[in-house]
Structure 1
């Protein structure tokens, strides 16, 4: 059952990955067209929403990032929970591999950036920019190019990316945030604990689950906490076992109902809102600046090195296991995709270098993120596509040998012998 659900998700994500790519391309075109002013103005415009005494006032871009993307992280959290309790990651050593790989994938890019800053005399404040992985784009690229590869590889990437993303959020909170508001945080935690207790006592209806999610999300926003954490935390309290034998659990129902909406609605909107930035001020000369060079090298060289070294170390020391049926070449392809920083890296770049979005240093941040992410995506795609083609060719040869062995002529030769 676990494998069937995973394969269905992969089929959906293969198509949605194309939609996501088109949305990102459309954003880049519009952001550099005569309609760029209207595009950026619309994303920055505020859209207040009030329900009784509860009011949330966010820009349209923030509604997409903090609102709709909370559903994406809910889906991710649900799938990882399913894999940890009943699937690929139920083996603690297989769970250790992506977690430790994520740690390596955060440390190495920061070290690469700081070393380049030391050698070139550049600012060290951008060390956190190449630490992040854009989970939405990384998973979408994998779905497009990795057909036929083991589903365990996707789970490895998904788990690694979510741990990486949570690590980036902790870095933002520790180094670039004014602090979390304790009272709203307490209300959010209270909602999680209360709903979790009710779920253990009896069957809860969809309306109560929906209201509970909105409650946790609202107070996460008020607490100035990333709502990606709210989505993952909420997934932890959704029951994985059905209360009535033969029926789907709440976790499976939520995964199957929400996944198409997230894949074909939330993620393309996110890509259209976040992938659009102006090329004005970008030049080849700026690519050689300490900031751009450090970010690009951190994403491309640091990410792949950190993930691969940590994974090899984990497997060799028997702290963890490789994803089931995966080769080292395939894992290397996944490690490259972790260098797709894009939207999260751009966001950290704004925090690391506060000021005007069109300032020279922000142009260098954009160029570094774009170069490192595109290089990682391109090489990772090539390697995974070749691995996929190799597997398909081996499978076809295997089937051909099997059919040949069963043919009448072969059987006759065997009898004669």
Structure 2
């Protein structure tokens, strides 16, 4: 008997209930964090353009133990220290996706991986084409390659669009893979001269961290000091310090054992994610997004090759790359698009992924660290490109908002009040019994009201 052909995968199909619950919880925190990120970015711009002297003095204020090579500025602490927390969460997310999420199945992983990869290659190509033809520096090719999930979700929150869970999950998974490639770019292309003694110490610390986890040693007072030592050694090694956060996040166990409601990785992510989204990333934005904005400076964004390359990379490269990668993957793997959605929905999501902020600002600082003036111009280009991408995505999403709201309401409907959306219970016999009881109760209530209305009418016409 010949084996049956594999069932075609559905692009942007409905999630399983556990995955839907995880995505909803993660996005709720990221959305709040994204709103704080927006507030921090606006505050930085206002501060830098009204009290520029104080902004510069605070950002450049140094503190820390110089004997350990950690006498850093406030802005430096934000970029290398606080963002390590952000990348720690990214590491846990990636580990969970690899062992329990969408990326555990190679067939399912192909779509977000190819889409994210194309969504990074195309912006880099756009940047290189613009800077090569315009005679600019090609050093910033990686700036427009990153997507900021928190900023993108904040835009969705501001727009008020009720996206179905499949679209939100695709955006989250895409951003996780995007973060992985961004981490590799930082580690490979933006590593300074290596200090092998410090690097060896960092690897020894990571090995101890892994061993303690395997021995199931518990206690934050063990892991937090060790994490700080590993981070300090990694910083002094010449490798970007945020790599330490990613490495430790990837070491956590994200599979549940019998009797466990949450795996250790999920538990720690639940504890640390609010710190990352609500404190670390907004503070980084506060001390990175403060660029001087004027009419001339904004004009230079569209005339200088480096900045124009960043803007076009975010707005055009991201949209074309992610949409093209998704379409090609669906075409050649015979996957089918969710019948409730259309390819313009995928393009709108791809456009939204052009919002590059946190990692784009970080890479901009690393790529042009020897030219502060150009660094500020590239930061302005990141802000302008992200704003244009947000506006375009907002228009595209608003055109389909009625469809999204209908899908969202269908997914959320829980008429039997069981706490589980009805769409996930339709194959459960107990669900149909509960619904039959609800309908019978409603019908009985309707009959009682009809009899009461009839009795009242008869009573009014009959003699006392």
Match of 2:33 in 1: 16
The match for 1:106 among 97, 115, 120 is 120
Residue in structure 1 matched with residue 378 of structure 2 by the alignment: 365
> Residues 368 and 375 of structure 2 are in contact (CA less than 8 Å); yes or no, is this contact kept in structure 1?
yes
Greater CA deviation, 387-396 or 261-270? 387-396
1:321 is displaced (CA, Å) by 8.5
The answer on whether the counterparts of 1:78 and 1:255 sit within 8 Å (CA) in structure 2 is yes
Which of residues 53, 64, 68 in structure 2 aligns to 1:48?
64
Aligned counterparts of 1:80 and 1:152: Cα–Cα separation in 2: 18
Aligned partners of 1:321, 1:46: CA distance in 2, in Å? 55
1:381 and 2:397 are equivalent in the alignment: no
CA shift at 1:27, angstroms? Answer: 1.0
Q: Is 2:302 the partner of 1:287?
A: yes
Using a 3 Å threshold, how does the CA distance of structure 1 residues 323 and 63 change in structure 2: closer, same or farther?
farther
- State the shift of 1:320 in Å: 8.0
Deviation track 1:189-208 (CA, whole Å, cap 9, x = no partner) reads: 22222322332233432222
Question: Which residues of 2 match residues 201-216 of structure 1 at below 5 A?
Answer: 201-216=215-230
Contact 2:31 2:153 in 1 (8 A): no
CA contact (8 A) 2:143 2:361 kept: yes
Is the counterpart of residue 258 in structure 1 residue 272 in structure 2? yes
Partner of 2:64, secondary structure, is strand
Shift in Å at residue 351 of structure 1? 4.8
Q: Secondary structure at the match of 1:275?
A: coil
Flag the 1:141–1:94 CA change in 2: closer, same or farther, 3 A.
farther
- Equivalent position of 1:339 in the other structure: 354
CA, structure 1 residues 119+252, in 2 after alignment: closer, same or farther (shift >3 Å)? closer
The structure-2 alpha-carbon separation of the partners of 1:324 and 1:44, relative to structure 1 and needing over 3 Å to count, comes to farther
Partner of 1:309: 324
Superposed counterparts of 1:184-223, under 5 Å: 184-223=198-237
Report deviation, 1:234: 0.7
Match of 2:110 in 1: 96
Q: Provide the rounded CA distance (Å) in 1 between the counterparts of 2:89 and 2:61.
A: 28
Displacement of 1:316 after TM fit? 1.9
Measure how far apart 1:85 and its partner are. 1.7
Aligned to 1:25: 42
- 1:133 corresponds in structure 2 to 147
Q: CA deviation at 1:303?
A: 1.3
8 Å contact from structure 2 (residues 100, 254) kept in 1 = no
State which drifts further: 214-223 or 339-348: 339-348
Q: CA deviation at 1:42?
A: 0.7
Counterpart contact for 1:96–1:320, Cα < 8 Å: no
Structure 1, unaligned runs of 5 or more: 413-417
Quote the residue 2:84 is aligned against.
70
1:179 equivalent to 2:197? Answer no
Structure 1 residue aligned with 2:245: 231
Question: 1:148/1:88 Cα in 2 relative to 1: closer, same or farther (>3 Å)?
Answer: farther
Residue of structure 2 aligned with 1:298, choices 309, 313, 318: 313
> Residues 101-133 of structure 1, C-alpha deviation per residue, up to 9 Å, x if partnerless?
222122212222232334444444443332333
- 2:69 & 2:339 partners in 1: Cα distance? 47
Decide whether aligned partners of structure 1 residues 181 and 333 sit closer, same or farther in structure 2, where only a CA change above 3 A counts: farther
For the residues of structure 1 that align with 2:193 and 2:180, how far apart are their CA atoms?
Answer: 16
Q: Is the 8 A contact 2:59 2:287 kept in 1?
A: yes
| Whole-Å separation in 1 of the counterparts to 2:339 and 2:199 | 39
Q: What TM-score results when the alignment is normalised by the length of structure 1?
A: 0.82
Kindly state the Cα deviation for residue 279 of structure 1 after the two structures are TM-superposed: 1.1
Q: Secondary structure of 2:269's partner?
A: helix
Residues 312 and 408 of structure 1, relative CA distance in 2, 3 Å threshold? same
What's the secondary structure of 2:251's corresponding residue?
coil
C-alpha contact 2:143 2:363 (8 A) present in aligned 1: yes
Secondary structure of the equivalent of 2:248? helix
8 Å contact kept, 2:206–2:248: yes
- Quick check: 2:69–2:236 contact (8 Å CA) kept in 1? no
TM-score where L is the length of structure 2: 0.75
Moved more, 322-331 or 7-16: 322-331
Residue pair 1:289, 1:364 contacting (<8 A) in 2 also: no
Give RMSD over aligned pairs: 3.6
Take 2:300 and 2:23, find their aligned partners in 1: how far apart are those partners? 45
> Alpha-carbon deviation of 1:136?
4.2
